[in-house]
Chain A
Amino acid sequence: MGAIYGLIGMGMNLIFNSTGGLNIAQGALVTLGAYAGVTFTVFLKLPVVPAAILTIAAMAIVGSIFGYLIYEPVRFAVPTRFMLAALGAGIFITEMAQIVWGPIPFVVPRFIRQSSLRFGNLVFDTQNLLILSVLLVVVAIIYMLLNKTQIGLMMRAVGQSKEVSALMGIPVRTIIRYTFALSTALATVAGVMAGPIFFVTPSLAVLMSKGFAAAVIGGFGRNVHGVIIGGFIAGVVEVFAAFFISSSYRDAWGFAFLILFLLVRPRGLFGEAAGEKA
C-alpha cells in the first residue's frame, strides 16, 4: 500500500515542483490509468508486459494533453487556479470513466499466479513483492532521469524558477508538458499495481488523498526518496491503526496522523526549509 501511495505522491511532487500547484486530479489519472490497463489486458487480451508498456505510453500522452488543456491556460495565474481547474478535470475524468467502462467494478487478475513465497518462516505475498520491486525500479529510473540527464536538469531548473529557466533558453512550456507526462505515467503505474488489490472502479480516485499524505509526510520538494518513505509511513500507520484500534476508521486514523504530522513538522521529513539565502 505504502509503495502505491508513494508513487502517487511522487507524481504530485513532480507537478508541484514544476508548477507550484497541487494536481488534485492525480487520483483521477490513477483511475484512468487502471482502466487503461484493464482495456489492454482484459478487453484486448494483450500479455502483461506489452500491455503495461502500452498503458504507460498512452497515459503519458494523456498526461501531456492534460497539462496542455488544464495547466497552460492558467499558468500565469495563482496556483489555486490550477488546483481548481484540476479538481474540475478530475471529476470529469472520473465520471467519464464511469460512463465508458460502466459502474461495475473490474476484477484484475494477479500478475503472478503463485500467491506466496516462503523464506524460512517468513511468507511473502508475491503481488506485494512485485509492487515493491516495481517501486524500486521506478524510483531508480526517476532518480537517474532527474539527476543524470539533460531533461532532468531542465525539469529541476524549471522547478526552481520558470522565469530564469526561460532566460537561459530552456523551453519551459515543453518541459512542463513532459513533467505532466511523467507524473501521469507514475499515476498509471500506481493504478495498474493497485488493480489486483482493490477492484478497478472510479472510486480508486480517492487514492489521491493518500498520495498527498505521502508527499506531505515525506516533504514536498526536490527529493525523490522522501515521498516514498512518506508513502510507507502513511501505509504503516493505516494498517497498524486498523489492526490495533479499529478497521472501520482506517482512513480516519491515517488523516489524524497527517494532521498531527503537519502540526509537528509542516515541511515534512525531507522538505526544504523556507527562506534560503539566494
Chain B
Amino acid sequence: MLTIDGINVAYGKVQVLHDLSLNVKENEIVTIIGSNGAGKTTTLNAIMGALKPTKGKIDFLGKRMDQLDSNKIVASGISIVPEGRRVFPDFSVYENLLTGACVRRMHGTKLAEVENDIKRMYELFPRLKERHSQKAWSLSGGEQQMLAIARSLVSRPKLLLLDEPSLGLAPVLVREVFDIIKTINKDGTTILLVEQNANMALEHSDRAYVIESGKIVVEGPADELRHSEKVKKAYLGG
C-alpha cells in the first residue's frame, strides 16, 4: 500500500533521514519506534508532503506521492494525527471535525454526508458528542487526542498516520487510545504508528521498524521485536 524507497530528508543543511526505506501493507498496523530525534516524525511529515525528500521516492497505492502537496496527499487517502494532538483550540469539537473533511468538501462531498460521518465519530467517541459545542482548548488531554483521531477519520483515510498518540496521557487513557486504534484498524483502515511507548505499540502492531539516526536498523514482526534482546535493552526497559 505504502512504499518508501531510500529517501533522504533534510531540514536545511541538516540531513535527518538517510536512505530510509519501509513499507506498509493493506490492513496492517505498523509501528516505527525510536528515541527522540531519531527521525520518526520527519518520516511522517515526509509522507504527508510537509517535507520533500531530496532523494528516493514514496509510493501510495501505486502512485508517486513525494513531490505532491499535502492537500493532494490527503485527497488520495492518507491522513495524520499530529504529535501533541494539535487540535484547533478556538474551534468547537464540531468545527474541528469539519476541518478533517475540508479536502472532501473541496472535491464536492455534501455537508450532509460529512455530518453523517461526524455522527459515526460520535458513536465511536461518545465523549466528543457530549462536548459537541465545547471549544477544543477546554478539553482534557485524552479528549483532545480522541478529537484529533476523529478529525483525521472524517477525511475517510485508507492509511492513518499517528504520531505519538500516547504522549502526555495517563496510562489508563493510553490503553483506551490503543484499543481505539485497534478498532479503527478492524474497520478497514491501515495504520502507521510512530511511538516512544514501544511496549504498548509493539503489543498492538503486526510489524515494526526501529529507527536510529534517520536509518532503519531493525525490522520484523512486532512479536519478534518484542523478544529481541537489542530492542528490549534499548526501548523496552531491559
Cβ of A156 to closest chain B Cβ, rounded Å: 7
Q: Mark B127-138, 1 if CB is under 8 A from A, else 0.
A: 000000000111
B169 contacts the other chain (Cβ, under 8 Å)?
A: no
Instruction: Give the interface segment out of B29-37, B102-110, B207-215, B226-234.
Output: B102-110
Cβ of A271 to closest chain B Cβ, rounded Å: 12
Contact A168 B91 (CB under 8 A): no
Q: Mark A160-175, 1 if CB is under 8 A from B, else 0.
A: 1101111111110000
A154 contacts the other chain (Cβ, under 8 Å)?
A: yes
B193 contacts the other chain (Cβ, under 8 Å)?
A: no
Given A167-B50, A169-B70, A170-B71, A160-B91 contact (CB < 8 Å): yes
In the assembled complex, which residues on chain A have CB atoms less than 8 Å from the CB atom of B136? 278
The CA of A164 and the CA of B89, in the complex, are separated in Å by 11
B192 contacts the other chain (Cβ, under 8 Å)?
A: no
Instruction: Give residues 179-227 of A contacting B (CB, 8 Å).
Output: 222
The number of chain A residues with a CB under 8 A from chain B is 21
Contact B95 A153 (CB under 8 A): yes
Q: Which residue of A lies closest to B72 (CB)?
A: A169
The CA of A154 and the CA of B99, in the complex, are separated in Å by 7
In the assembled complex, which residues on chain B have CB atoms less than 8 Å from the CB atom of A167? 48, 50, 70, 80, 82, 86
Given A170-B71, A278-B89, A153-B50 contact (CB < 8 Å): no
Contact B105 A168 (CB under 8 A): no
Contact B144 A169 (CB under 8 A): no
Contact B89 A277 (CB under 8 A): yes
In the assembled complex, which residues on chain B have CB atoms less than 8 Å from the CB atom of A272? 90
Given A167-B48, A168-B151, A278-B137, A157-B88 contact (CB < 8 Å): yes
In the assembled complex, which residues on chain A have CB atoms less than 8 Å from the CB atom of B85? 278
Contact A169 B90 (CB under 8 A): no
Instruction: Give residues 68-86 of B contacting A (CB, 8 Å).
Output: 69-71, 73-75, 80, 82, 85-86
Interface size bracket, B side: 20 to 34
In the assembled complex, which residues on chain A have CB atoms less than 8 Å from the CB atom of B106? 150, 171
Contact B88 A160 (CB under 8 A): yes
Cβ of A240 to closest chain B Cβ, rounded Å: 35
In the assembled complex, which residues on chain B have CB atoms less than 8 Å from the CB atom of A161? 86, 88
Cβ of A94 to closest chain B Cβ, rounded Å: 35
Contact B69 A171 (CB under 8 A): yes
Cβ of A168 to closest chain B Cβ, rounded Å: 5
In the assembled complex, which residues on chain A have CB atoms less than 8 Å from the CB atom of B155? 168-169
Cβ of B204 to closest chain A Cβ, rounded Å: 23
Given A164-B86, A169-B103, A278-B85, A153-B98 contact (CB < 8 Å): yes
Q: Which residues on A are within 8 Å of B, measured CB to CB?
A: 150, 153-154, 156-157, 160-161, 163-171, 222, 272, 276-278
Known: A168-B100, A168-B151. 11 other contacts (CB 8 A): A156-B90, A161-B88, A166-B50, A167-B48, A169-B73, A169-B74, A169-B102, A222-B90, A277-B138, A278-B87, A278-B137
